[in-house]
Amino acid sequence: SAMELPFAESYKIKMVEPIRKSTREERERWIREADYNLFKLSSDKVFIDLLTDSGTGAMSDRQWSEMMLGDESYAGASSYFKMKEAIREILGFEYFLPTHQGRAAENVLFSALIHEGDIIPGNSHFDTTKGHIEFRKATACDCTIDEAFDTQKDHPFKGNVDPVKLENILKSSADRIPFIIVTVTCNSSGGQPVSLENLRMIRQIANRYGKMVIFDSARFAENAYFIKLREPACRDLSIRQIVSEMFACADAMTMSAKKDAIVNMGGFIAMRSEELFSKACVYNIMFEGYITYGGMSGRDMNALALGLYEGTEFDYLETRIRQVEYLGNKLMDMGIPVQRPIGGHAVFVDAKRFLSHIPKEEFQAQTLAIELYLEAGVRAVEIGTLLADRDPVTRENRYPALELMRLAIPRRVYTNNHMDLVATALKNIFDRKSAIQKGYRIKAEAPIMRHFTVALEPA
């Protein structure tokens, strides 16, 4: 009988970018000179860069063609209208404001909505989101389901909000809550999706308390893919139909287009309310630029608009997410502890389990990321104690429930041979992990979002 054809990518490669290998001796010197902070390494010192999937994707030939058609008019550019049309058609929002990236969208929208003392419930807020909340002397309240914090427990929607946790905070503090924010997929819990059922339930709870629901939508299309695969009621819906159903539950959204719109730079806010739009316009003009470009050039708006269409095609999403799964499955087969199931944009290695003999005060996930760089020139990122930062009041280190090393896979960039190399490098470290005797300590750090610039030394 005929064999089932293997899975293969839904694109071919038209342009390549050489990357450079290095020796372990070189890497030992480079990482020391970078104060053991992978953000401080220049990219030519990295062989496979899995620091982030943000802005690191490869645009399609069609997106590059759109770049040539960009309208760079200051006001009312056709590129603005292309973006407006894509947002209306795919996401269903009437009003939008371009911003230069996702955190800028947060800055503009939160300036209009958050006041000192407010509480913003959500599912494991991303660090810039939390930063923009705390910067305004408000607090982020994490209502993610408990299952998300056990990496070894399988659950199809570890990004879900726990309705009891959400109701509790609404019951006790409704007057201090301007909106609920839901991150799809939930980056901080491992690129884990939120089910459509959960989004609808959040909408219902919000309605009962008269609250807005805002989606942090950086990876909304990956979320829709998981809904299609894992939520039986949605199996026969297209990705675009699922996306419509998801956003029907939201009043507004922030978007880092550097992820699921597959562009190198860009973002936006979208909303239904004209009143909120008018309020946000003021901040957009102040922080980003006039309302029809908001920090983006016309050509980038063109590529973004097309990226929204490409990013919501099933074949593209299947190719992308299956590659992440390919790496994740390899690591699981090797016995390496990872957040299960594998998320949409990255594999999250459980550093607390991997380096259980290193004390948490010595930054287990960062220690593992440094080892991986030394082993193979692969750059991962710490999603652990350094990122969690200090408590704004007590200034004590916050030790998060999960101490993860993230291997974020850029879209349409690396092949599965690169994934094989990453997996083998981690296996080598896993086999010799008892020889890793200590972690790192902080030499210098910034008062907020310290992980970008922190200087470390061996403990």
Chain positions contacting ligand F0G, by CB under 6 A = 52, 54, 101-103, 126, 128-129, 183, 187, 216, 218, 256, 258, 267
Give the Cα separation of 50 and 410 in Å (integer): 7
Q: How far is the CB of 103 from ligand F0G (least distance, A)?
A: 3
Contacts 24+ apart (CB under 8 A), 319-324: 319/9, 319/10, 319/11, 319/412, 320/222, 320/409, 320/411, 320/412, 321/222, 321/225, 321/226, 322/7, 323/409, 323/414, 323/416, 323/419, 324/191, 324/409
Q: Which is nearer to ligand F0G, 129 or 292 (CB)?
A: 129
Q: Which two tokens stand for residue 255?
A: 């978007």
Q: Which is nearer to ligand F0G, 71 or 124 (CB)?
A: 124
DSSP state of 23: -
Q: Which is nearer to ligand F0G, 102 or 439 (CB)?
A: 102
Q: Which is nearer to ligand F0G, 129 or 364 (CB)?
A: 129
Q: How far is the CB of 105 from ligand F0G (least distance, A)?
A: 8
User: Do 191 and 381 touch, CB atoms closer than 8 A?
Assistant: no
Sorted by sequence, the CB contacts under 8 Å of residue 457 that are 6+ apart come out as 35, 36, 440, 441, 443
Give the Cα separation of 40 and 47 in Å (integer): 15
Q: Which residue of the chain is nearest ligand F0G when measured via CB?
A: 102
Pairing outcome for strands 440-444 and 455-458: antiparallel
Q: Which two tokens stand for residue 335?
A: 């016995």
- Compute φ and ψ for 23, nearest 5 degrees: -100, 160
Q: Which is nearer to ligand F0G, 87 or 358 (CB)?
A: 87
Give the Cα separation of 133 and 459 in Å (integer): 33
Give the Cα separation of 83 and 382 in Å (integer): 34
Beta-ladder partners of 256: 267
Q: Which is nearer to ligand F0G, 48 or 358 (CB)?
A: 48
Q: How far is the CB of 114 from ligand F0G (least distance, A)?
A: 15
Q: Which is nearer to ligand F0G, 198 or 358 (CB)?
A: 198
Q: How far is the CB of 217 from ligand F0G (least distance, A)?
A: 8
Beta-ladder partners of 163: none
User: Do 269 and 99 touch, CB atoms closer than 8 A?
Assistant: yes
Q: How far is the CB of 55 from ligand F0G (least distance, A)?
A: 7
Give the Cα separation of 313 and 325 in Å (integer): 18
Q: How far is the CB of 215 from ligand F0G (least distance, A)?
A: 10
User: Do 86 and 309 touch, CB atoms closer than 8 A?
Assistant: yes
Q: How far is the CB of 204 from ligand F0G (least distance, A)?
A: 24
Catalytic residues: 74, 126-127, 216, 218, 259, 451
Q: Which is nearer to ligand F0G, 253 or 276 (CB)?
A: 253
Q: How far is the CB of 126 from ligand F0G (least distance, A)?
A: 4
- Compute φ and ψ for 128, nearest 5 degrees: -70, -35
Tokens 């919501």, residue? 312
